Structure 1
Amino acid sequence: MKYFWLFIVFFLITVIFIAIIRKPGSIYKYEANEKNPMEGKKVVFVENKSELRNADGLCGHLEAIGDTYLKRRPYNNFVKRVIDIVLSLIGLVVLSPVFLMLSLAIVVDDPGPIFFTQKRVGLNKQYFKLHKFRSMKMSTPRNVPTHMLENPDQYITRIGRFIRKFSLDELPQIFDILIGNMSIIGPRPALWNQDLLIAERDKYGANDIRPGLTGWAQINGRDELEIPVKAKFDGAYVQKESLLFDFYCFVVTITSVLKSDGVTEGGTGIIKTKEKK
């Protein structure tokens, strides 16, 4: 038993050391061509049919209308951060066998990298590198969001279908939580080119807190929500953010994941589309 606890302590020290080392490289802060030009700015979405289509399926761009002044939130900046660190460390220890099994399954199913990274929008619109278990084939077109692929199902691996159904592909984000780019509960981090979602969230201050592994919008529709509706849920979370509300979101998330509620390959807008039919 003594050796077991020594192993746990060694594992935790190693994980914390890796987190400290990896933190600077996990954000697009020093690469001028990768840094978000809208970081620290309040923005609006300007539609322009002559521009390329973004990840929201619209043509247009973001325009800055002022600076963001982040409010100091005692719960968010200290209490929640401590909880995130403690729970992420526990999660990495407890789920380490799951990480190992999924890693082996991914490589056997479709040889290649176990993880993949995406540029996402974090606190105050700072770009960071979000990590996931790879669920798509190596032949999948690069830099194309899943919901913008033609027939995305054809690119999903067999193990990928399983881990996406139960959101297991999101587990590596526990490490993103540990290093401080994410929280356990918060708005899901937008893709760097989801301009409409970013602008809509700005209306409610939802870009002014750390994005989360799960959140209020996630348990109220997930992929089925239209962007303006999703942003309103994210804004509602900002207003309700507290220890008890985060606990409620966490518990309900587990139930939603087990039932695969709201998971739709192909993006957002399902509710609206169904209503029109």
Structure 2
Amino acid sequence: MRYLDILISLLALVILSPVMFIISLIIFFTDGRPVLFKQQRVGLNMEEFTILKFRTMKNEKNHASKIEFTKKNDPRITFIGRILRKYSLDELPQFLNVFYGDMSIVGPRPDTPQQKVNYDNATWQARHRVKPGITGLAQINGRSNITPEKRINYELEWIERKSLTLYLSVIWKTFFIKAKDSF
């Protein structure tokens, strides 16, 4: 699946580069620098990596030191950020994470090291036997509209059933869900 990750991420980066460039310019001219949000996440074998996203929140100097979860109508989210989040466009730079090998297209969403407290040790260990992904079973089955327990169950299901067929199925369903949500 690594070869597919490389191929898909490279194609996505080439095809979406004009969109990513425009988003970068919009963020730069409306909200300033930095354009990208970078944060440590836990990946395969518990190794930390830097996840990349388009910045969707106000650039607060002390924000990086505080870990706060964003709420639906969080006042820190910029106008452009709301649009990017609505269509998951803030996640596009993660194709670079996939290309670099930190992430896969499909897998459990990567957590911050601080989120370890949300899991029992066995589940935390299991989540990191595979690379984290841009999308996964939880994302195609409700995303943020499911309980944390259900999300964890979907992530563990991916780890147990991981196959090329399921990988392609998740990508296919993600594409159609995103297309449907856009119209």
Conserved 8 A contact 2:41-2:49: yes
Task: Show the counterpart of 1:147.
Answer: 69
Conserved 8 A contact 1:204-1:231: no
Counterpart mapping for 1:155-234 below 5 A: 155-199=76-120, 202=123, 205-234=126-155
Work out which of the two has the higher radius of gyration on C-alpha atoms and give 1 or 2.
Answer: 1
Deviation at 1:107, TM superposition (A): 0.9
Question: CA deviation digits over 1:157-195, x for unaligned, max 9?
Answer: 111111100101001010100110000000000111112
Deviation at 1:219, TM superposition (A): 1.3
Unaligned runs of 5+ in 1: 1-79, 262-277
Alignment of 1:100 onto 2:18: no
Question: CA deviation digits over 1:68-120, x for unaligned, max 9?
Answer: xxxxxxxxxxxx01111111111111111011100001011111111011111
Deviation at 1:257, TM superposition (A): 2.8
Answer with 191-200 or 85-94: which moved more.
191-200
Q: Residues 224, 172 of structure 1: CA spacing in aligned structure 2 closer, same or farther, 3 A cutoff?
A: same
Task: Show the counterpart of 1:137.
Answer: 58
Deviation at 1:247, TM superposition (A): 1.2
Conserved 8 A contact 1:190-1:197: no
Alignment of 1:90 onto 2:1: no
Question: CA deviation digits over 1:51-71, x for unaligned, max 9?
Answer: xxxxxxxxxxxxxxxxxxxxx
- TM-score, scaled relative to structure 2: 0.88
Amino acid at match of 2:37: F
Deviation at 1:243, TM superposition (A): 1.3
Amino acid at match of 1:98: V
Question: CA deviation digits over 1:115-135, x for unaligned, max 9?
Answer: 011111100111110000011
Report the 3-state secondary structure (helix = DSSP H, G, I; strand = E; otherwise coil) of the residue aligned with 1:154: coil
Report the 3-state secondary structure (helix = DSSP H, G, I; strand = E; otherwise coil) of the residue aligned with 2:113: coil
Ranked by relative contact order (alpha carbons within 8 Å, sequence separation 6 or more), the top structure is: 2
Q: Over aligned residues, Cα RMSD in angstroms?
A: 2.3
Report the 3-state secondary structure (helix = DSSP H, G, I; strand = E; otherwise coil) of the residue aligned with 1:120: strand
Bigger helix fraction:
2
Q: Residues 239, 106 of structure 1: CA spacing in aligned structure 2 closer, same or farther, 3 A cutoff?
A: same
- TM-score, scaled relative to structure 1: 0.60
Matched residue count: 181
